[in-house]
Chain A
Amino acid sequence: MKAMEESTVLDAKVLELNMGPQHPSTHGVLRVKLKLDGERVVDAECIIGYLHRGVEKISENRSYIECVPYYDRTDYIAAVSNVYGFLLGVEAMMQIEVPKRAQYIRIMMTEFSRIASHLLWLATHAIDIGAMTVFLYCFREREEILKLFEALFGARLTTHAFRVGGLWKDLPPGFVEAARKFIDEFPERVDEYEQLLTKNRIWMARTQGIGVISGKEAIEWGLTGPVLRGSGVRHDVRKDRPYGGYEEFDFDVPVGENGDTYDRYLVRLEEMHQSRRIIQQVLDRLPDGPVRGKAPKIVKPPVGEYYSGIDGPRGELGYYIVSDGSAHPFRVRIRPPTFISLQVLRRLVKGHLMADVIAIIGTLDIVLGEVDR
């Protein structure tokens, strides 16, 4: 009784607050249990699994050809990269030769998907922090990329982009011109975003020094992609373990210095420029020829295990495929980059203000479809 009298509202030191799963700034259905001391975050706990569909288990009951469309739906923002990672693994297991033209188109579309993904990240990250205009501009450019996807793949978001051994169909007429037009205009558009954000004092105040993580610590947490590169570690699967013909193209890997939210923003903006450079080289050197190699009708990889890791827009996206020699994979394990970078959220938000939590969730660039799978 005495204790009850003594504890008033003013005495309550730590308040527990649920953020999500319906909170618009958590980019999906992420629930964060925050422990707050006033406005300061003392502790945070992520609760995931609201979007779990069991994609890995579904794959075990489908043939190699049939399970490809499901990987569109793990990371639905960059569906093209997801399919690419899985098919590279299957093709390596079966030693299928992919024609040069198909390889080039695959690289081009993966880089387009990286740009589209980063644009969506910038749009939502900016609107979380309060910059509404950037959101509208980014979605306009993303729309142009989605139109290219629609023309080539036949769908905008869940593209089912590539097939075993190459592509479904060759480029449609007018595609190269449309792609060229986009990449010619694109640097101008990025300059517009920069004009709105990079030197804006509100943006700088909200992002500089927020969610700092050092390079060494980022490696220890297993981070990859722009989050790791923002901390100054030059790690990119495209450079370290080139796959699918990336070694033929010339591009830089941008890195940040301080490892804060602002640096990760700058890294992602520069990555869009580098992706544009790769697309330009592809368009200049696009060879003629078939787009689908000799692939058997029934895909049956030999008994064995294979890991294929690619550099998706959010980091290293890996597929660990175990084959027992049948037409169905024995086991597919997806290494989702954002599942791993979400673990660091707890470490990053400690000591920050409540309003910075959404900035940090935004900068990790999580997609819940991929986290929960």
Chain B
Amino acid sequence: MIDFLKRIFLVDILKGMALTFRYTYRKVYTEQYPLEKPKLAERYRGAPRLNNDPVTGETLCIACDLCAEICPEDLIVVGSQRDPESRKKVLTHYTFDTSRCLFCGLCQEVCPTNAIELTQDFELAAYDRRSMVWDRKRLEKGWDRIDFGKDYHK
């Protein structure tokens, strides 16, 4: 009998409705992404950056080629030259193809001098494929965000 009445008065469905109704007065969970940037974790593996020594401004990279060796996709190319005077390897060029990157973080893991680092930047979209291959200049600068201005998202 009780079961029958429950069926007639749609108790099971009303219970669900009560739950969804309660949510009307709760805090909104949604993140308004383009308007507010998410707070990413410190370890987040995003856009690569080639670090410079903060004091001297010279590159930290010693051109040891470990990152290019470990990279599963072989997308890092390290160019080096021996300095005839000091007999040291000197970095000449460095390219990183972000369009093929797995963001596995193996390059920053093997780097002995913390020169290559994956940063918190994640907005990697570009207009063409060629600009996804980052050269040394771009890697050292880090990613520059396109600024659409304040009124763009309104």
Contacts and interface: CB of A to CB of B under 8 A. Distances in A.
B19 to A, nearest CB: 5
A200 B42 contact: no
Given A154-B43, A155-B103, A195 B72 contact: no
Interface string B61-74: 00000000011100
Q: How large is the interface on B (under 10, 10 to 19, 20 to 34, 35 or more residues)?
A: 20 to 34
A147 B102 CA distance: 19
A169 B105 CA distance: 12
B105 A195 contact: no
A55 to B, nearest CB: 12
A153 B42 CA distance: 10
Given A196-B19, A201-B13, A154 B106 contact: no
A11 interface: no
Contacts of A202: 13
Nearest to A150: B41
Given A154-B45, A195-B19, A196-B19, A168 B105 contact: yes
A62 B72 contact: yes
Nearest to B7: A201
A200 B13 contact: yes
Contacts of B29: 140
Q: How large is the interface on A (under 10, 10 to 19, 20 to 34, 35 or more residues)?
A: 20 to 34
Interface stretch (A29-37, A64-72, A278-286, A315-323): A64-72
B26 to A, nearest CB: 11
Given A154-B41, A172-B42, A195-B15, A70 B105 contact: no
B46 to A, nearest CB: 9
Give the one of A62, A155, A200, A201 with max B CB within 10 A: A155
Interface string B50-82: 000000000000000000001110000000000
B123 interface: no
Contacts of A66: 70-72, 106
Interface in A203-217: none
Give the one of A68, A133, A154, A200 with max B CB within 10 A: A154
B72 A152 contact: no
Contacts of A147: 41
A158 B29 CA distance: 24
Nearest to A61: B72
Given A69-B72, A200-B12, A201-B13, A172 B41 contact: yes
Interface string B1-44: 00000010000110110011000000001000000000011111
Given A67-B72, A155-B45, A199 B104 contact: no
A202 B44 CA distance: 42
Contact of B41 (A62, A151, A200): A151
A276 interface: no
A39 interface: no
A268 interface: no
B16 A196 contact: yes
A45 interface: no
Contact of B40 (A140, A150, A200): A150
Contacts of B103: 155, 158
A192 interface: yes
The 7 closest A-B pairs by CB, nearest first: A69-B104, A154-B43, A66-B72, A151-B41, A150-B41, A160-B104, A154-B45
